[in-house]
Structure 1
Amino acid sequence: MDTAFVLINCEPGKEPSIIQKLHEIKNITDVQGTYGIYDIVARIDSDDKSQLENIISDQIRKLDNVNSTLTLIPTEPAEGLADLIPDIIPDVIPEQKKPLEEQDSISDEEDVDEDYEDTTN
């Protein structure tokens, strides 16, 4: 399934009529009015890439009062990436910041500095 999001800039005040026309176009699955440079965003889902191109070029762009469009085609996430994330993120949390059950146990003998000499006498 191919998906595209089409951002539409139109003549002021013509948004409701364009939104209505977009709802009538096959394969447009969602239409929303927006604030900002673009007035409307439409989602298109199609099994055929040429049909997707046809909807954008021959139907949406040719609607009356549509000034410009910007088409966004999402990228697909790499397969299996979620499984790799725990392996590629290093353990950078210092021991003293980890929960007690995760900290390495340190014996009292390891705490003693062997190079320390008592010079108080």
Structure 2
Amino acid sequence: MNIAYVLVQSTIGHEMEVLSDLLKIDFVKEAKGTFGYYDILVKIEASSEKEIVRIITKKIRKVKNVNTTTTLSVISEQEEL
């Protein structure tokens, strides 16, 4: 299983609707509001890195009022340590 965390910056005042829309996307396991430069932290789990890229580019970045994203890919080899 591949895991990635996506930091999302949204339009001011639209954080809750963006959060709600993100939680409706398949493979999104968690989405939490945060303080700071980014507004939402999203956890994605998928069977491949290619699938994660598709979710981010075709789903998350297309959500209305999502302005920017930064992706943090988990190193799968370190999960078993």
Q: Structure 1 length normalisation: TM-score?
A: 0.62
Per-residue CA deviation, residues 16-47 of structure 1 (Å, 9 max, x unaligned), is 10111111101100000000000001000001
Letter paired with 1:53: V
Runs of 5+ consecutive residues of structure 2 not aligned to the other structure: none
Question: Which residue is equivalent to 1:77?
Answer: 78
Displacement of 1:3: 0.4
Count, aligned residues: 80
Letter paired with 1:77: Q
Q: Secondary structure at the match of 1:52?
A: helix
Alignment of 1:1-121 (within 5 A): 1-75=1-75, 76-77=77-78
Displacement of 1:54: 0.7
Displacement of 1:2: 0.5
Runs of 5+ consecutive residues of structure 1 not aligned to the other structure: 83-121
Q: Secondary structure at the match of 1:69?
A: strand
- Say which structure is richer in strand: 2
Percent identity reads: 35
Displacement of 1:62: 1.2
Q: Structure 2 length normalisation: TM-score?
A: 0.91
Question: Which has the higher relative contact order, 1 or 2, with Cα contacts under 8 A spaced 6 or more apart?
Answer: 2
The CA RMSD over aligned residues, in Å, is: 1.5
Distance 2:79 2:21 in 1: 36
Letter paired with 2:78: P
